[in-house]
Structure 1
């Protein structure tokens, strides 16, 4: 004991803290990771779910279940994992409340939360909303599911509030804005544009929505929205690992990427209109690439597997996705000016405000061509099948083309409008009906079973054909 006592004063306390890991961070460190991870989710689920459900693409050599409308539990996991972003967004809000000059970080976190909630509810229907994200703050580990109607009311109220909370006289103290580089006026435009998207989605179900649409579109100075392609909310990957487009060869083997052909619906429609976006969305068949007469051949969805593999002579005679979708720097699309113009054109046609539907429709098409880098000629607007005739289906079809690879938005709009008129393939297993929702993930059955069970009952016993609250019944 005496020896120990003599040695003890010479001992020093060991600091077991990793000097390379920060104890505290600022909002500028957290925000880019949220946008990066959310962007990855949007791209991956466009590729695996959205594009297969509504005939942007289809698998060509295996019997994929999504294009047949036989959804598996694993199909639910990717989008549900967006809940993992909520804690980080709440951290940004908490940091902003404690510091000076962080108002805009809080506003950005709030609008990104709404965007994520909109993806979640439009995928599953009823979801945890008012009680979500409270596991740490309130030890709420089994949140109740709000009805989709209540979720929409909450999201729209939040967007109306947050659009007024931005301080355009301030920038972002710690930077960290990978989309708008601290230009707060563009965040305001994104917020109002997202609100317009959601208001139009519920305009036939929520009486107050039409009035809000009229107010916003009739007062552009008070409710600025995207007005050029520089305002697009797209995440531009740097191209250096790990900040790489999720479908690039760094993550998806070329062999696996080419399991998907572009659908016959897309190829045939764009060829009929002599639409140069075809050359962005698809590539010529391997057999014709580099020749004086490149051929574009789409694959019909949901053929029996042997017919898919052998269609038109096999893989070398089918068009794969455009090479741009294997580029490490291809952007992830959240919302674009073209979509906003189509929303305005529809609102004008519906009589919600006094805009010129024809001019807005034409401008929306031009904006889409410009975004995709596709050559455009004014004569395109006069072509049969393209020229605006005062009917909504014209708007819906062109919007369908413009929403290519925009997360789950193509599927959302198809369910809302019923357009384009898609014919299910012969091997579909859902009586020719495009599913209306994705079933909840299996994890909810084990981790939140009581609340899952209640929500599942409201969703037709978790049926993929149970319609969204905002869908026409």
Structure 2
């Protein structure tokens, strides 16, 4: 009798083990996890747009303004305006930008599988935006073999030369321009936080970004035919539509309340200004002398100080005198609803002004000056509309520039 009981128990244990191993994969699968292939490409758009922009917004505040003497940070000697940039800062920029480029690539693959050309084109535009920032910072980066780890088990992609990266990015933007279908809106347009599904505006952004990358290669005209490509965009607006007004800007207009808010909305004003960043004397001097009306939109005069004063870049903290130094205007630059732009109409005008000045486009100095002045005016009008702390800039003031 005991022998039969032991035998039955052994059979039960054996059958239980066999049962566990035969459906092991199913048991260990999270039923709440989304299968990448089972979602729409627009399902990835919101987060790829919002958090990707947040990464660039923060890095612009953290580094760009410091290195070009627009802002001066903090009170310590280890400051970015003193070119003290730790490895962790660059590691964070690398990992975050690659993360959102990878998301854009995943969105592109989904769009191709589901034959959604507009989502494919948008994904290419965003992926190019993030990768162009990466190669501008680091030079050689993985590009041609990037993002092939999960499907092809390519975990060590090769690093491409910066020229090869730029050639790939330009080719990708050219392809995206050719497939944008501007006759229809994007499906699930409410997920498009940038343009609300307007494909013509996306196509204009794509081609304006194309101009930006071309102009960054301005000294490689002989090898890469940069002048002819810029001229083609200038002369054929039907084939190469670009920004033609501030209405086309690639700008996020955030809400007043979470979750769609500017990253700095939750940051205390003191952390954003007094202990965070002050305007540098370089930018204050450039704006104060000609009476640029944007100075009071971007900055605030120090309490009890009548006039504009900038902080000195590169100085050690113990040698700096911040008395009377102006402050950043958080209400316009870092409030919950303060906008952030990937690219604006004024940049396109500046690019064309430079191309004309270089002789790539006919028109001479007079036309170059016209485009340059129009660019400044477009910027003033944009910031006048953003301004919460003063009266709108009058058109007569705009026309003086």
Q: Does the residue aligned with 2:81 lie in a helix, a strand or coil? A: coil
Give the Cα separation in 1 of the matches to 2:349 and 2:258: 35
Aligned to 2:219, the other structure's residue is in SS state coil
> Given that residues 55 and 301 in structure 1 are in contact (C-alpha distance below 8 angstroms), is that contact kept between their aligned partners in structure 2?
yes
**Is 2:204 aligned against 1:189?**
yes
Q: Which residue of 1 aligns with 2:216?
A: 201
Q: Distance in 1 between matches of 2:339 and 2:44?
A: 20
Compared CA separation, residues 18 and 132, structure 1 to 2 (3 A)? closer
How big is the shift at 1:161? 1.4
Aligned to 2:351: 343
Moved runs in structure 1, 4+ residues, more than 4 A? 1-5, 13-23, 376-382
Q: What is the Cα deviation at residue 15 of structure 1? A: 8.8
C-alpha distance in 1 between matches for 2:161 and 2:34: 40
Matched, 1:366 2:374: no
SS at 1:247's partner residue?
Answer: helix
Structure 2 gaps, min length 5: 17-22, 385-391
CA drift of 1:364 comes to 0.7
Q: Which residue of 2 aligns with 1:87?
A: 102
Q: Aligned partners of 1:145, 1:82: CA distance in 2, in Å?
A: 16
Q: Does residue 296 in structure 1 map to residue 311 in structure 2? A: no
Match of 1:167 in 2: 181
User: Could you give the per-residue CA deviations for residues 380-403 of structure 1, whole angstroms, max 9, x where no partner exists?
Assistant: 666xxx6xxxxxxxxxxxxxxxxx
Shift of 1:218: 1.3
| Structure 2: distance between partners of 1:338 and 1:58 | 25
In structure 1, the residue matched to 2:64 is 50
Deviation, 1:325, is 2.0
Answer yes or no: is 1:328 the counterpart of 2:358.
no
Q: Which has the higher contact order (CA 8 A, sep 6+)?
A: 1
> Structure 1: how far apart are the matches of 2:74 and 2:109?
48
Aligned equivalents of 1:363, 1:117: Cα separation in 2: 30
66-75 or 364-373, larger mean C-alpha shift = 66-75
Aligned counterparts, 1:397-408, within 5 A: none
In structure 1, distance between residues paired with 2:105 and 2:43: 14
**Deviations 1:194-252 (Å, cap 9, x if unpaired)?**
1111111102114211111111111122211100101000122224334321222x2x3
**Under a length normalisation based on structure 2, what TM-score does the superposition of the two structures give?**
0.84
Deviations 1:174-204 (A, max 9, x none): 2221111111111111111111111111021
Specify the structure having the higher radius of gyration (Cα): 2
Counterpart residue number, 2:20: none
Shift of 1:39: 0.7
| Cα distance in 1 between the residues matched to 2:256 and 2:55 | 17
1:377 shift after superposition: 5.0
Between the two proteins, the alignment pairs up a number of residues equal to 364
Give the aligned CA root-mean-square deviation in angstroms: 2.4
Given candidates 247, 253, 260, the residue that maps to 1:236 is 253
Residue aligning to 1:354: 362
In structure 2, relative to structure 1, the CA distance for the partners of 1:113 and 1:282 (3 Å cut) is same
Residues 187 and 197 in structure 2, CA contact (< 8 A), matched pair in contact too: no
Matched, 1:111 2:129: no
CA 1:129–1:17: 2 relative to 1, 3 Å: closer
Q: Which has the higher helix share?
A: 2
Gaps of 5+ in 1: 289-293, 387-473
Distance in 2, matches of 1:84 and 1:286, equals: 42
